[in-house]
Protein backbone atom coordinates (compact mmCIF):
# COMPACT_ATOMS: atom_id res chain seq x y z
CA UNK A 1 0.00 0.00 0.00
CA UNK A 2 2.78 2.38 0.92
CA UNK A 3 4.71 1.49 -2.26
CA UNK A 4 1.59 2.12 -4.36
CA UNK A 5 1.17 5.54 -2.76
CA UNK A 6 4.81 6.41 -3.45
CA UNK A 7 4.50 5.35 -7.09
CA UNK A 8 1.31 7.37 -7.49
CA UNK A 9 2.93 10.48 -6.04
CA UNK A 10 6.03 9.99 -8.19
CA UNK A 11 3.93 9.78 -11.35
CA UNK A 12 2.75 13.33 -10.66
CA UNK A 13 6.21 14.77 -11.30
CA UNK A 14 8.26 11.99 -12.91
CA UNK A 15 7.95 11.87 -16.73
CA UNK A 16 6.92 8.58 -18.35
CA UNK A 17 9.64 6.10 -19.27
CA UNK A 18 9.23 6.73 -23.02
CA UNK A 19 9.84 10.46 -22.48
CA UNK A 20 12.89 9.76 -20.33
CA UNK A 21 14.26 7.60 -23.14
CA UNK A 22 13.94 10.51 -25.56
CA UNK A 23 15.80 12.69 -23.04
CA UNK A 24 18.57 10.11 -22.62
CA UNK A 25 21.36 12.32 -24.13
CA UNK A 26 20.66 15.13 -21.66
CA UNK A 27 20.49 12.62 -18.79
CA UNK A 28 23.84 11.13 -19.86
CA UNK A 29 25.33 14.62 -19.80
CA UNK A 30 24.02 15.22 -16.27
CA UNK A 31 25.33 11.82 -15.11
CA UNK A 32 28.76 12.64 -16.58
CA UNK A 33 28.72 15.91 -14.65
CA UNK A 34 28.07 14.08 -11.39
CA UNK A 35 30.86 11.56 -12.03
CA UNK A 36 33.32 14.33 -12.92
CA UNK A 37 32.55 15.97 -9.58
CA UNK A 38 33.17 12.68 -7.73
CA UNK A 39 36.35 11.56 -9.51
CA UNK A 40 38.69 13.97 -7.63
CA UNK A 41 37.78 12.22 -4.38
CA UNK A 42 39.57 9.11 -5.64
CA UNK A 43 42.19 10.23 -8.16
CA UNK A 44 43.07 13.83 -7.33
CA UNK A 45 42.10 17.15 -8.85
CA UNK A 46 44.70 17.35 -11.59
CA UNK A 47 44.32 13.83 -12.91
CA UNK A 48 43.61 13.37 -16.65
CA UNK A 49 41.18 10.65 -15.56
CA UNK A 50 38.53 13.39 -15.59
CA UNK A 51 39.05 13.82 -19.32
CA UNK A 52 38.64 10.07 -19.80
CA UNK A 53 35.31 10.22 -17.99
CA UNK A 54 34.18 13.04 -20.29
CA UNK A 55 35.20 11.03 -23.36
CA UNK A 56 33.29 8.00 -22.09
CA UNK A 57 30.25 10.15 -21.36
CA UNK A 58 30.47 11.71 -24.82
CA UNK A 59 30.55 8.30 -26.50
CA UNK A 60 27.58 7.09 -24.45
CA UNK A 61 25.79 10.35 -25.31
CA UNK A 62 26.37 9.75 -29.03
CA UNK A 63 24.91 6.26 -28.64
CA UNK A 64 21.88 7.62 -26.78
CA UNK A 65 21.42 10.24 -29.51
CA UNK A 66 21.46 7.53 -32.17
CA UNK A 67 18.78 5.68 -30.20
CA UNK A 68 16.56 8.76 -30.03
CA UNK A 69 17.11 9.37 -33.76
CA UNK A 70 15.40 6.08 -34.54
CA UNK A 71 12.59 6.88 -32.08
CA UNK A 72 11.65 10.16 -33.80
CA UNK A 73 11.83 8.73 -37.31
CA UNK A 74 8.05 8.90 -37.57
CA UNK A 75 7.91 12.59 -36.68
CA UNK A 76 8.67 15.10 -33.90
CA UNK A 77 7.98 14.13 -30.28
CA UNK A 78 6.78 16.71 -27.75
CA UNK A 79 7.79 16.11 -24.14
CA UNK A 80 7.24 17.19 -20.54
CA UNK A 81 3.65 18.39 -20.66
CA UNK A 82 2.28 19.23 -17.19
CA UNK A 83 -1.46 18.69 -16.64
CA UNK A 84 -3.32 21.46 -18.44
CA UNK A 85 -0.17 22.86 -20.03
CA UNK A 86 1.50 22.32 -23.42
CA UNK A 87 4.80 20.42 -23.78
CA UNK A 88 7.96 22.41 -23.20
CA UNK A 89 10.49 20.29 -25.12
CA UNK A 90 10.59 19.03 -28.70
CA UNK A 91 12.67 16.16 -30.06
CA UNK A 92 12.87 16.24 -33.85
CA UNK A 93 15.46 16.10 -36.61
CA UNK A 94 16.97 19.44 -35.59
CA UNK A 95 17.28 18.34 -31.96
CA UNK A 96 18.93 15.07 -32.97
CA UNK A 97 21.40 16.87 -35.24
CA UNK A 98 22.46 19.34 -32.56
CA UNK A 99 22.84 16.54 -30.04
CA UNK A 100 25.23 14.79 -32.44
CA UNK A 101 27.08 18.06 -33.05
CA UNK A 102 27.47 19.00 -29.38
CA UNK A 103 28.59 15.53 -28.26
CA UNK A 104 31.01 15.19 -31.20
CA UNK A 105 32.46 18.63 -30.48
CA UNK A 106 32.73 17.78 -26.78
CA UNK A 107 34.85 14.75 -27.72
CA UNK A 108 37.04 16.81 -30.06
CA UNK A 109 37.64 19.55 -27.46
CA UNK A 110 38.57 16.94 -24.84
CA UNK A 111 40.93 15.33 -27.37
CA UNK A 112 42.54 18.72 -27.97
CA UNK A 113 42.85 19.26 -24.22
CA UNK A 114 44.60 15.92 -23.77
CA UNK A 115 46.91 16.62 -26.71
CA UNK A 116 47.82 19.90 -25.05
CA UNK A 117 49.01 18.17 -21.87
CA UNK A 118 52.09 17.05 -23.81
CA UNK A 119 52.35 19.99 -26.15
CA UNK A 120 52.23 23.01 -23.86
CA UNK A 121 55.63 22.64 -22.25
CA UNK A 122 56.62 26.07 -20.98
CA UNK A 123 54.09 28.01 -23.04
CA UNK A 124 53.13 31.43 -21.80
CA UNK A 125 49.76 31.46 -23.57
CA UNK A 126 46.63 31.22 -21.36
CA UNK A 127 45.74 27.55 -21.14
CA UNK A 128 42.73 25.69 -19.85
CA UNK A 129 44.89 23.31 -17.84
CA UNK A 130 45.82 26.20 -15.55
CA UNK A 131 42.48 25.40 -13.96
CA UNK A 132 42.03 21.99 -12.36
CA UNK A 133 40.40 19.51 -14.78
CA UNK A 134 37.24 18.99 -12.67
CA UNK A 135 36.30 22.68 -12.74
CA UNK A 136 37.16 23.02 -16.43
CA UNK A 137 35.07 20.05 -17.52
CA UNK A 138 32.17 20.78 -15.16
CA UNK A 139 31.84 24.20 -16.75
CA UNK A 140 32.21 22.72 -20.24
CA UNK A 141 29.56 20.03 -19.64
CA UNK A 142 27.13 22.48 -18.06
CA UNK A 143 27.50 24.81 -21.03
CA UNK A 144 26.82 21.87 -23.36
CA UNK A 145 23.66 20.98 -21.43
CA UNK A 146 22.32 24.51 -21.78
CA UNK A 147 23.02 24.51 -25.52
CA UNK A 148 21.11 21.25 -25.99
CA UNK A 149 18.10 22.68 -24.18
CA UNK A 150 18.24 25.90 -26.23
CA UNK A 151 17.57 24.02 -29.45
CA UNK A 152 14.83 21.73 -28.11
CA UNK A 153 12.83 24.26 -26.09
CA UNK A 154 9.26 25.23 -27.00
CA UNK A 155 8.75 27.58 -24.07
CA UNK A 156 10.17 31.11 -23.99
CA UNK A 157 10.93 30.94 -20.26
CA UNK A 158 12.80 27.66 -20.70
CA UNK A 159 14.74 29.22 -23.59
CA UNK A 160 15.96 31.99 -21.25
CA UNK A 161 16.94 29.42 -18.60
CA UNK A 162 18.74 27.32 -21.22
CA UNK A 163 20.61 30.34 -22.57
CA UNK A 164 21.78 31.29 -19.09
CA UNK A 165 22.77 27.68 -18.39
CA UNK A 166 24.92 27.82 -21.53
CA UNK A 167 26.26 31.33 -20.93
CA UNK A 168 27.15 31.48 -17.23
CA UNK A 169 29.71 28.61 -17.38
CA UNK A 170 31.12 30.16 -20.56
CA UNK A 171 31.84 33.42 -18.73
CA UNK A 172 33.80 31.53 -16.09
CA UNK A 173 35.63 29.18 -18.43
CA UNK A 174 37.00 32.10 -20.47
CA UNK A 175 38.94 33.09 -17.35
CA UNK A 176 40.07 29.50 -16.70
CA UNK A 177 43.66 30.68 -16.33
CA UNK A 178 43.52 32.79 -13.21
CA UNK A 179 47.06 34.08 -13.92
CA UNK A 180 46.05 35.72 -17.21
CA UNK A 181 45.01 39.38 -17.11
CA UNK A 182 43.94 39.07 -20.74
CA UNK A 183 41.62 36.21 -19.85
CA UNK A 184 40.12 38.10 -16.91
CA UNK A 185 39.51 41.14 -19.11
CA UNK A 186 37.91 38.96 -21.78
CA UNK A 187 35.60 37.31 -19.23
CA UNK A 188 34.54 40.72 -17.88
CA UNK A 189 33.65 41.95 -21.37
CA UNK A 190 31.82 38.71 -22.09
CA UNK A 191 29.70 38.80 -18.94
CA UNK A 192 28.87 42.51 -19.43
CA UNK A 193 27.62 41.96 -22.96
CA UNK A 194 25.83 38.79 -21.89
CA UNK A 195 24.02 40.46 -18.99
CA UNK A 196 22.81 43.31 -21.20
CA UNK A 197 21.65 40.92 -23.93
CA UNK A 198 19.82 38.70 -21.45
CA UNK A 199 18.05 41.67 -19.84
CA UNK A 200 16.86 42.95 -23.21
CA UNK A 201 15.69 39.49 -24.26
CA UNK A 202 13.73 38.98 -21.02
CA UNK A 203 12.11 42.37 -21.57
CA UNK A 204 11.03 41.26 -25.05
CA UNK A 205 9.62 37.99 -23.74
CA UNK A 206 7.64 39.87 -21.09
CA UNK A 207 6.11 42.02 -23.84
CA UNK A 208 5.11 38.92 -25.82
CA UNK A 209 3.58 37.36 -22.73
CA UNK A 210 1.67 40.52 -21.93
CA UNK A 211 0.32 40.72 -25.47
CA UNK A 212 -0.55 37.06 -26.08
CA UNK A 213 -0.86 35.58 -22.59
CA UNK A 214 1.40 32.59 -23.25
CA UNK A 215 5.05 31.62 -23.23
CA UNK A 216 4.49 28.55 -25.41
CA UNK A 217 5.84 29.09 -28.94
CA UNK A 218 3.28 26.94 -30.84
CA UNK A 219 0.41 28.56 -28.88
CA UNK A 220 1.81 32.00 -29.66
CA UNK A 221 2.04 31.06 -33.35
CA UNK A 222 -1.54 29.76 -33.28
CA UNK A 223 -2.80 33.03 -31.81
CA UNK A 224 -1.00 34.94 -34.52
CA UNK A 225 -2.63 32.70 -37.10
CA UNK A 226 -6.11 33.34 -35.69
CA UNK A 227 -5.56 37.08 -35.68
CA UNK A 228 -4.25 37.02 -39.26
CA UNK A 229 -2.58 40.37 -38.70
CA UNK A 230 -2.09 42.42 -35.57
CA UNK A 231 -5.07 44.75 -35.55
CA UNK A 232 -4.23 47.88 -33.61
CA UNK A 233 -1.25 50.04 -34.53
CA UNK A 234 -0.05 50.00 -30.94
CA UNK A 235 -0.09 46.19 -31.00
CA UNK A 236 2.02 46.19 -34.13
CA UNK A 237 4.60 48.42 -32.46
CA UNK A 238 4.71 46.35 -29.28
CA UNK A 239 4.90 43.09 -31.24
CA UNK A 240 7.85 44.11 -33.40
CA UNK A 241 9.58 45.72 -30.41
CA UNK A 242 9.31 42.43 -28.53
CA UNK A 243 10.63 40.47 -31.53
CA UNK A 244 13.54 42.92 -31.77
CA UNK A 245 14.35 42.51 -28.07
CA UNK A 246 14.26 38.71 -28.29
CA UNK A 247 16.45 38.93 -31.38
CA UNK A 248 19.12 40.81 -29.41
CA UNK A 249 19.62 37.77 -27.18
CA UNK A 250 19.83 35.42 -30.15
CA UNK A 251 22.28 37.69 -31.99
CA UNK A 252 24.49 37.73 -28.91
CA UNK A 253 24.77 33.93 -28.91
CA UNK A 254 25.56 33.90 -32.63
CA UNK A 255 27.97 36.86 -32.28
CA UNK A 256 26.18 38.58 -35.17
CA UNK A 257 26.35 42.33 -35.79
CA UNK A 258 25.76 44.53 -33.90
CA UNK A 259 26.12 42.14 -30.92
CA UNK A 260 29.53 40.85 -32.04
CA UNK A 261 31.90 43.26 -30.29
CA UNK A 262 32.65 40.86 -27.43
CA UNK A 263 33.75 38.04 -29.71
CA UNK A 264 37.31 38.98 -30.84
CA UNK A 265 38.53 40.00 -27.38
CA UNK A 266 37.03 36.90 -25.76
CA UNK A 267 38.48 34.59 -28.39
CA UNK A 268 41.93 36.17 -27.98
CA UNK A 269 41.95 36.09 -24.20
CA UNK A 270 40.40 32.66 -23.67
CA UNK A 271 42.34 29.38 -23.70
CA UNK A 272 42.50 27.83 -27.18
CA UNK A 273 40.23 24.95 -26.19
CA UNK A 274 37.61 27.38 -24.94
CA UNK A 275 37.95 29.56 -28.03
CA UNK A 276 37.30 26.52 -30.22
CA UNK A 277 34.27 25.57 -28.13
CA UNK A 278 32.75 29.05 -28.26
CA UNK A 279 33.47 29.54 -31.95
CA UNK A 280 31.48 26.43 -32.86
CA UNK A 281 29.14 25.28 -30.09
CA UNK A 282 27.90 28.70 -28.98
CA UNK A 283 27.27 29.85 -32.55
CA UNK A 284 25.68 26.55 -33.52
CA UNK A 285 23.29 26.70 -30.56
CA UNK A 286 22.40 30.29 -31.40
CA UNK A 287 21.72 29.39 -35.03
CA UNK A 288 19.64 26.41 -33.87
CA UNK A 289 17.59 28.66 -31.61
CA UNK A 290 17.10 31.14 -34.46
CA UNK A 291 15.88 28.28 -36.67
CA UNK A 292 13.49 27.09 -33.97
CA UNK A 293 12.01 30.54 -33.39
CA UNK A 294 11.78 31.43 -37.09
CA UNK A 295 10.26 28.14 -38.15
CA UNK A 296 7.76 27.93 -35.28
CA UNK A 297 6.54 31.52 -35.45
CA UNK A 298 6.52 32.05 -39.21
CA UNK A 299 6.30 28.55 -40.60
CA UNK A 300 3.45 27.37 -38.37
CA UNK A 301 1.49 30.58 -37.87
CA UNK A 302 0.21 31.03 -41.41
CA UNK A 303 1.72 34.50 -41.51
CA UNK A 304 4.48 33.96 -44.08
CA UNK A 305 3.81 37.25 -45.87
CA UNK A 306 3.28 39.18 -42.64
CA UNK A 307 6.80 38.19 -41.55
CA UNK A 308 8.46 39.73 -44.60
CA UNK A 309 9.89 42.59 -42.46
CA UNK A 310 11.50 39.98 -40.19
CA UNK A 311 12.97 38.19 -43.21
CA UNK A 312 14.35 41.46 -44.52
CA UNK A 313 15.80 42.29 -41.11
CA UNK A 314 17.52 38.89 -40.88
CA UNK A 315 18.85 39.32 -44.42
CA UNK A 316 20.23 42.80 -43.70
CA UNK A 317 21.82 41.69 -40.42
CA UNK A 318 23.31 38.63 -42.14
CA UNK A 319 24.84 40.82 -44.87
CA UNK A 320 26.23 43.32 -42.36
CA UNK A 321 27.56 40.53 -40.13
CA UNK A 322 29.56 38.71 -42.80
CA UNK A 323 30.82 42.00 -44.28
CA UNK A 324 31.95 43.41 -40.92
CA UNK A 325 33.58 40.10 -39.98
CA UNK A 326 35.55 39.80 -43.20
CA UNK A 327 36.64 43.45 -43.35
CA UNK A 328 37.79 43.43 -39.72
CA UNK A 329 39.71 40.18 -40.24
CA UNK A 330 41.83 41.85 -42.92
CA UNK A 331 43.70 43.89 -40.28
CA UNK A 332 44.40 41.16 -37.72
CA UNK A 333 47.88 39.92 -36.87
CA UNK A 334 46.64 37.52 -34.18
CA UNK A 335 45.45 34.31 -35.83
CA UNK A 336 42.95 33.73 -33.02
CA UNK A 337 41.43 37.17 -33.57
CA UNK A 338 41.42 36.57 -37.31
CA UNK A 339 39.54 33.29 -36.81
CA UNK A 340 37.20 35.09 -34.41
CA UNK A 341 36.21 37.59 -37.08
CA UNK A 342 36.07 34.72 -39.56
CA UNK A 343 33.53 32.97 -37.31
CA UNK A 344 31.47 36.17 -37.25
CA UNK A 345 31.45 36.16 -41.05
CA UNK A 346 30.37 32.53 -41.18
CA UNK A 347 27.58 33.27 -38.71
CA UNK A 348 26.35 35.82 -41.26
CA UNK A 349 26.35 33.20 -44.00
CA UNK A 350 24.25 30.85 -41.87
CA UNK A 351 21.82 33.64 -41.01
CA UNK A 352 21.19 34.12 -44.74
CA UNK A 353 19.66 30.66 -44.87
CA UNK A 354 17.50 31.51 -41.83
CA UNK A 355 16.03 34.44 -43.79
CA UNK A 356 14.65 31.95 -46.33
CA UNK A 357 12.29 30.45 -43.75
CA UNK A 358 10.31 33.68 -43.49
CA UNK A 359 9.69 33.87 -47.21
CA UNK A 360 9.34 30.28 -48.36
CA UNK A 361 7.14 28.64 -45.75
CA UNK A 362 4.03 29.11 -47.89
CA UNK A 363 5.89 27.65 -50.89
CA UNK A 364 6.92 24.54 -48.95
CA UNK A 365 10.64 25.27 -49.48
CA UNK A 366 11.61 25.66 -45.83
CA UNK A 367 13.31 22.26 -45.97
CA UNK A 368 15.95 23.66 -48.31
CA UNK A 369 16.88 26.48 -45.93
CA UNK A 370 17.12 24.21 -42.89
CA UNK A 371 19.10 21.65 -44.90
CA UNK A 372 21.59 24.32 -45.96
CA UNK A 373 22.22 25.36 -42.35
CA UNK A 374 22.61 21.77 -41.16
CA UNK A 375 25.08 20.98 -43.97
CA UNK A 376 26.98 24.22 -43.26
CA UNK A 377 27.32 23.41 -39.58
CA UNK A 378 28.56 19.87 -40.30
CA UNK A 379 31.41 21.31 -42.35
CA UNK A 380 31.95 24.32 -40.06
CA UNK A 381 32.80 22.05 -37.11
CA UNK A 382 35.62 20.37 -39.00
CA UNK A 383 37.00 23.62 -40.47
CA UNK A 384 37.21 25.39 -37.15
CA UNK A 385 38.47 22.45 -35.08
CA UNK A 386 41.24 21.92 -37.63
CA UNK A 387 42.23 25.60 -37.87
CA UNK A 388 42.09 26.24 -34.12
CA UNK A 389 43.86 22.93 -33.46
CA UNK A 390 46.90 23.95 -35.54
CA UNK A 391 46.82 27.42 -33.97
CA UNK A 392 46.83 25.81 -30.53
CA UNK A 393 49.85 23.63 -31.29
CA UNK A 394 51.81 26.57 -32.72
CA UNK A 395 50.85 28.81 -29.79
CA UNK A 396 51.84 26.18 -27.22
CA UNK A 397 55.31 26.04 -28.74
CA UNK A 398 55.88 29.70 -29.67
CA UNK A 399 54.02 31.31 -26.78
CA UNK A 400 52.05 33.50 -29.20
CA UNK A 401 49.44 33.15 -31.91
CA UNK A 402 50.85 36.04 -33.98
CA UNK A 403 50.94 35.29 -37.70
CA UNK A 404 54.76 35.39 -37.61
CA UNK A 405 54.70 32.29 -35.39
CA UNK A 406 53.60 30.38 -38.52
CA UNK A 407 56.74 31.39 -40.45
CA UNK A 408 58.18 28.46 -42.38
CA UNK A 409 55.69 26.00 -40.91
CA UNK A 410 55.63 24.12 -44.22
CA UNK A 411 59.27 23.13 -43.59
CA UNK A 412 59.24 22.99 -39.80
CA UNK A 413 56.03 20.96 -39.35
CA UNK A 414 54.56 19.86 -42.72
CA UNK A 415 51.92 17.70 -41.06
CA UNK A 416 50.58 20.83 -39.38
CA UNK A 417 50.97 23.22 -42.31
CA UNK A 418 49.11 21.03 -44.82
CA UNK A 419 45.93 20.54 -42.73
CA UNK A 420 46.02 24.23 -41.78
CA UNK A 421 46.13 25.17 -45.46
CA UNK A 422 43.28 22.80 -46.29
CA UNK A 423 41.15 24.15 -43.42
CA UNK A 424 41.78 27.75 -44.48
CA UNK A 425 41.02 27.01 -48.15
CA UNK A 426 37.84 25.30 -46.97
CA UNK A 427 36.90 28.35 -44.87
CA UNK A 428 37.21 30.40 -48.06
CA UNK A 429 34.91 27.96 -49.84
CA UNK A 430 37.23 26.66 -52.56
CA UNK A 431 36.72 23.27 -54.25
CA UNK A 432 37.29 20.39 -53.78
CA UNK A 433 36.82 20.90 -50.02
CA UNK A 434 33.89 20.75 -47.65
CA UNK A 435 33.68 24.53 -47.39
CA UNK A 436 32.78 24.66 -51.08
CA UNK A 437 29.99 22.13 -50.48
CA UNK A 438 28.64 24.21 -47.58
CA UNK A 439 28.55 27.42 -49.62
CA UNK A 440 27.17 25.61 -52.66
CA UNK A 441 24.22 24.36 -50.62
CA UNK A 442 23.72 27.84 -49.14
CA UNK A 443 23.68 29.55 -52.53
CA UNK A 444 21.43 26.81 -53.92
CA UNK A 445 18.97 27.36 -51.08
CA UNK A 446 19.03 31.13 -51.60
CA UNK A 447 18.47 30.66 -55.33
CA UNK A 448 15.44 28.44 -54.73
CA UNK A 449 14.08 30.90 -52.20
CA UNK A 450 14.53 33.71 -54.72
CA UNK A 451 11.80 32.10 -56.82
CA UNK A 452 9.40 33.35 -54.12
CA UNK A 453 11.33 36.44 -52.95
CA UNK A 454 13.65 37.83 -55.66
CA UNK A 455 15.44 40.07 -53.13
CA UNK A 456 17.25 36.94 -51.88
CA UNK A 457 19.51 37.25 -54.96
CA UNK A 458 21.08 40.20 -53.12
CA UNK A 459 22.19 37.80 -50.40
CA UNK A 460 23.77 35.55 -53.03
CA UNK A 461 25.73 38.55 -54.34
CA UNK A 462 26.81 39.53 -50.81
CA UNK A 463 27.96 35.96 -50.06
CA UNK A 464 30.04 35.78 -53.24
CA UNK A 465 31.67 39.20 -52.69
CA UNK A 466 32.50 38.38 -49.08
CA UNK A 467 34.01 35.07 -50.13
CA UNK A 468 36.36 37.01 -52.42
CA UNK A 469 37.27 39.40 -49.58
CA UNK A 470 38.06 36.54 -47.21
CA UNK A 471 40.55 35.13 -49.69
CA UNK A 472 43.12 37.76 -48.69
CA UNK A 473 43.41 37.16 -44.96
CA UNK A 474 43.22 33.36 -45.16
CA UNK A 475 45.91 33.23 -47.87
CA UNK A 476 48.07 35.54 -45.76
CA UNK A 477 48.55 32.75 -43.22
CA UNK A 478 49.22 30.20 -45.96
CA UNK A 479 51.82 32.53 -47.49
CA UNK A 480 53.51 32.85 -44.09
CA UNK A 481 53.71 29.06 -43.79
CA UNK A 482 55.05 28.31 -47.26
CA UNK A 483 56.56 31.48 -48.77
CA UNK A 484 58.20 32.99 -45.69
CA UNK A 485 61.00 31.24 -43.82
CA UNK A 486 63.66 31.82 -41.21
CA UNK A 487 66.70 29.55 -41.22
CA UNK A 488 67.16 30.05 -37.48
CA UNK A 489 63.83 28.41 -36.75
CA UNK A 490 64.10 24.69 -36.17
CA UNK A 491 61.51 21.94 -36.40
CA UNK A 492 58.33 22.55 -34.43
CA UNK A 493 57.57 19.66 -32.07
CA UNK A 494 53.91 18.75 -31.99
CA UNK A 495 52.00 16.26 -29.82
CA UNK A 496 50.87 13.20 -31.77
CA UNK A 497 47.28 13.60 -30.63
CA UNK A 498 47.10 17.14 -31.99
CA UNK A 499 48.66 16.14 -35.32
CA UNK A 500 46.21 13.25 -35.72
CA UNK A 501 43.24 15.46 -34.83
CA UNK A 502 43.95 18.22 -37.34
CA UNK A 503 44.83 15.79 -40.14
CA UNK A 504 41.61 13.84 -39.61
CA UNK A 505 39.66 17.11 -39.87
CA UNK A 506 41.50 17.99 -43.11
CA UNK A 507 40.86 14.52 -44.56
CA UNK A 508 37.15 14.74 -43.72
CA UNK A 509 36.95 18.15 -45.40
CA UNK A 510 38.53 16.72 -48.54
CA UNK A 511 36.05 13.83 -48.58
CA UNK A 512 33.09 16.15 -47.97
CA UNK A 513 34.09 18.15 -51.01
CA UNK A 514 34.39 15.07 -53.22
CA UNK A 515 33.09 11.59 -52.42
CA UNK A 516 30.81 12.70 -49.60
CA UNK A 517 29.36 15.71 -51.41
CA UNK A 518 25.98 14.15 -52.25
CA UNK A 519 25.66 12.17 -48.98
CA UNK A 520 26.19 15.44 -47.09
CA UNK A 521 23.24 17.07 -48.84
CA UNK A 522 21.05 13.98 -48.52
CA UNK A 523 21.68 13.56 -44.79
CA UNK A 524 21.00 17.27 -44.21
CA UNK A 525 17.72 16.96 -46.13
CA UNK A 526 16.65 13.95 -44.05
CA UNK A 527 17.26 15.83 -40.81
CA UNK A 528 15.44 18.91 -42.14
CA UNK A 529 12.46 16.77 -43.10
CA UNK A 530 12.34 15.57 -39.50
CA UNK A 531 12.04 19.20 -38.37
CA UNK A 532 9.08 19.83 -40.66
CA UNK A 533 7.37 16.51 -39.88
CA UNK A 534 7.28 15.81 -43.60
CA UNK A 535 8.70 13.16 -45.95
CA UNK A 536 12.26 13.97 -47.07
CA UNK A 537 12.71 15.81 -50.33
CA UNK A 538 15.22 14.92 -53.00
CA UNK A 539 17.83 16.75 -50.93
CA UNK A 540 20.41 19.33 -51.81
CA UNK A 541 21.87 18.83 -55.22
CA UNK A 542 25.53 18.54 -56.07
CA UNK A 543 27.22 20.77 -58.59
CA UNK A 544 26.69 18.22 -61.33
Query: 152-174 pLDDT, tens per residue?
Result: 888 899 999 999 999 999 998 88
- Measure the CA–CA gap between 427 and 470, rounded to whole angstroms: 9
Question: Is the pLDDT confidence value at 290 over 80?
Answer: yes
What is the rounded distance in angstroms from the CA atom of residue 183 to the CA atom of residue 165? 21
Q: Is residue 399 part of a domain?
A: yes
Find, among 325, 509, 525, 339, the residue nearest to 432 by Cα.
Answer: 509
Domain containing 444 equals: 315-544
- The distance of Cα 286 from the centroid of its chain, to the nearest Å, equals 6
Q: What is the pLDDT of residue 219?
A: 82
**Neighbour-count burial of 177, counting CB atoms closer than 10 A to its CB (0-12 exposed, 13-18 middle, 19+ buried):** buried
If you average pLDDT over every residue of the chain, what do you get?
A: 82
Question: Is the separation of the CB atoms in 459 and 311 below 8 Å?
Answer: no
* Contacts (Cβ under 8 Å, ≥6 apart) of 30: 145
User: How confident is the model at residue 329, as a pLDDT?
Assistant: 92
- What mean pLDDT do residues 26-30 have? 92
How many residues are listed for the chain in this entry? 544
Residue 115 inside a domain? The answer is: no
In three-state secondary structure terms, 91 is strand
Question: 543 in a domain, yes or no?
Answer: yes
pLDDT of 318 reads 92
Task: Give Cα 73 distance to the centre of its chain.
Answer: 24
**How sure is the predictor about 338, in pLDDT bands with cuts at 50, 70 and 90?**
very high
Residue 454 CB burial class (10 angstroms; 0-12, 13-18, ≥19): exposed
Among the listed residues 507, 457, 272, the one whose alpha carbon sits nearest the alpha carbon of residue 356: 457
Per-residue pLDDT tens over the stretch 510-542:
999 999 998 888 888 877 776 654 444 444 555
How high is the pLDDT of residue 227?
53
Burial profile 335-347: b = 16 or more Cβ within 10 angstroms, e = fewer = bbbbbbbbbbbbb
Is residue 287 in some structural domain? no
Mean pLDDT of 439-446: 91
In a domain, 305, yes or no: no
Q: What is the Rg, in whole angstroms, of the alpha carbon atoms belonging to the chain? A: 23
Choose between 460 and 6: higher pLDDT.
460
Please give the Cα distance from 312 to 236 (Å, whole number).
17
Question: What's residue 14's pLDDT?
Answer: 65
Cβ atoms 200, 245 nearer than 8 A: yes
Tens digits of residue pLDDT in 238-261: 888 888 899 898 988 888 888 888
Q: What is the pLDDT of residue 358?
A: 59
Task: For residue 88, give Cα distances in angstroms to 10, 155, 225, 394.
Answer: 20, 5, 20, 45
Give the distance, in angstroms, between the CA of residue 163 and the centroid of all CA atoms in the same chain. 13
Whether residue 409 has pLDDT greater than 50: yes
Once rounded to an integer, what is the mean pLDDT over residues 322-332? Answer: 92
User: How many domains is the chain built from?
Assistant: 1
Mean pLDDT for 296-322 is: 72
Q: Answer for the pair 267, 123: CB distance below 8 angstroms, yes or no.
A: no
Assign 496 a pLDDT band (cuts: 50, 70, 90). confident
Phi/psi of residue 400, nearest 5 degrees: -155, 155
Which residue would you say has higher pLDDT here, 511 or 230? Answer: 511
Question: Is residue 279 included in any domain, yes or no?
Answer: no
- Nearest CA-CA partner of 250 in 216, 206, 294: 294
Q: Is the pLDDT at 230 greater than 60, yes or no? A: no
Residue 229, Cβ density class (10 Å: 0-12 exposed, 13-18 middle, ≥19 buried): exposed
Residues above pLDDT 90, as percent of the chain: 33
Residue 336 lies in a domain: yes
User: Does 5 fall in a domain?
Assistant: no
CB 319 within 8 Å of CB 280? no
**Which distant-in-sequence residues (6+ apart) come within 8 Å of 147 by Cβ?**
98, 102, 162, 166, 281, 282, 284, 285
Quote the CA–CA distance of 379 and 322 in Å, as a whole number: 17
- Going by pLDDT thresholds of 50, 70 and 90, the confidence category of residue 424 is very high
122-139 residue pLDDT tens: 333 334 444 557 888 899
User: What DSSP state is assigned to residue 534?
Assistant: S
Q: Give the count of alpha carbons within 13 A of 77, CB side only.
A: 18
**82 pLDDT tier (thresholds 50, 70, 90):** low
With 0.85 as the threshold, say if the pTM is over it: yes
**CA torsion angle 203 205 211 216 (round to 10):** -170
Amino acid sequence: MRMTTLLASASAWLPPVDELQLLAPELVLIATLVVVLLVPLASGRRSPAVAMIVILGGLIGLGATLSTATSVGGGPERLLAAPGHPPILLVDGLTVFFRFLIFALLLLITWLWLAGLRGRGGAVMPIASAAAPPEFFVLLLTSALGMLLMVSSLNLLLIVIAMETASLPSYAIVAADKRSRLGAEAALKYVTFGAAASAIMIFGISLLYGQFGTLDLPSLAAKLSRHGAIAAATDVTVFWLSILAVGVGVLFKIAAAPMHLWCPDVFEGAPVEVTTWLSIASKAAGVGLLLRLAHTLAGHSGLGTDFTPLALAIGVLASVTCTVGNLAALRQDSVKRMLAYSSIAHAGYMMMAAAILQQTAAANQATVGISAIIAYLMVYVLMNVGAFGVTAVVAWHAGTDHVTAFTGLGRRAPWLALPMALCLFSLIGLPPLGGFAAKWFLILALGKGAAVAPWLWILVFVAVINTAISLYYYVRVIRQMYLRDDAELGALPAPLGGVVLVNLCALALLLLGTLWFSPLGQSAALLAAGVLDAPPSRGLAGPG
